[in-house]
Amino acid sequence: MLLLVSPINTKEAKEAIEGGADIIDVKNPKEGSLGANFPWVIKSIKEIIPKDKLLSATVGDIDYKPGTVSLAVLGAVTSGADYVKIGLYGTKNYEQALEVMKNAVKTVEYSESEAFVVAAGYGDAKRVNSVDPMEIPNIAADADADVAMLDTAIKDGKCLLDFLNLNELAEFVENSHDHGLKCALAGSLKKEHVKLLHEIGCDIVGIRGAACIGGDRNKGYIHRSAVSELKNIIKGF
């Protein structure tokens, strides 16, 4: 299982790298769970990442606007993203989410980038009237994306497992794998959740809050000690 950690700037990115994160996921919490950061920030972090690590960039908790999303995806991949994560926040159903994701994939092909495309849904979708989280693997597969992901839309201390139980998450992982996709899970996860997700076969665990001093994704900042504690749990599997 890979550890994805979400810095907001180069200082935090260095902490995530030193702590042993496998994927450096550049985002902007001020603009939501998968808030988009600025191209120059993505590029500056790309410039400091060791060659053996990959950079992911979120393009936002997006609306049902395939054109806007496509331009955002182009911005992310031209800024150096190896993974581009689309938060399917404003899509209400399979059809809308598939249209967004198909255009995101088409944009990556158009840009001649090798970036992986991540379809990200929300475990707490009902709270924001977003597409059914259990549809995400089908949407990702039908759009020819690479990763099916779940996060949480509202960061209020509740975590992914408050909305989907382990059996549901295991089904999500299995459905992703049956489609030949990698699976990533996130959503205010704590270190005690990491082993549970490993046991159901999750490929990538995404964390910001628990990698921050004080555990607060907004008021805290990523520190190598918190990252390495998470990484050591994974190394122990």
Count of C-beta atoms within a 10 Å radius of residue 82: 18
Active site residue 85: yes
Q: Which of 43, 46, 53, 85 is catalytic?
A: 85
87 is an interface residue for ligand G3H by CB under 6 A: no
DSSP readout, 169-234?
A: HHHHHHHHHHTT-EEEEESS--HHHHHHHHHTT-SEEEESGGGBGGG-TTTS-B-HHHHHHHHHHH
Q: Which stretch binds ligand G3H (CB under 6 A): 64-72, 93-101, 163-171, 184-192?
A: 184-192
Question: What's the closest the beta carbon of residue 112 comes to ligand G3H, in angstroms?
Answer: 27
Q: Which of 27, 155, 182, 231 is catalytic?
A: 27
Nearest to 216 by CA among 170, 146, 137, 157: 157
209 is an interface residue for ligand G3H by CB under 6 A: yes
Which residue is closest to ligand G3H by CB?
Answer: 206
230 is an interface residue for ligand G3H by CB under 6 A: no
- Residue 123's region, left for phi above 0, alpha for psi from -120 to 50, else beta, is alpha
Question: What's the closest the beta carbon of residue 95 comes to ligand G3H, in angstroms?
Answer: 26
Q: How many residues bind ligand G3H (CB under 6 A)?
A: 16
151 is an interface residue for ligand G3H by CB under 6 A: yes
Q: Toward ligand G3H, which CB reaches closer, 91 or 99? A: 91
**Length of the chain, in residues:** 237
28 is an interface residue for ligand G3H by CB under 6 A: no
- Cα separation, 87 vs 35, whole angstroms: 8
Binding site for ligand G3H (CB under 6 A): 4, 6, 25, 33, 151, 155, 186-189, 206-210, 217
Report the catalytic residues.
Answer: 27, 85
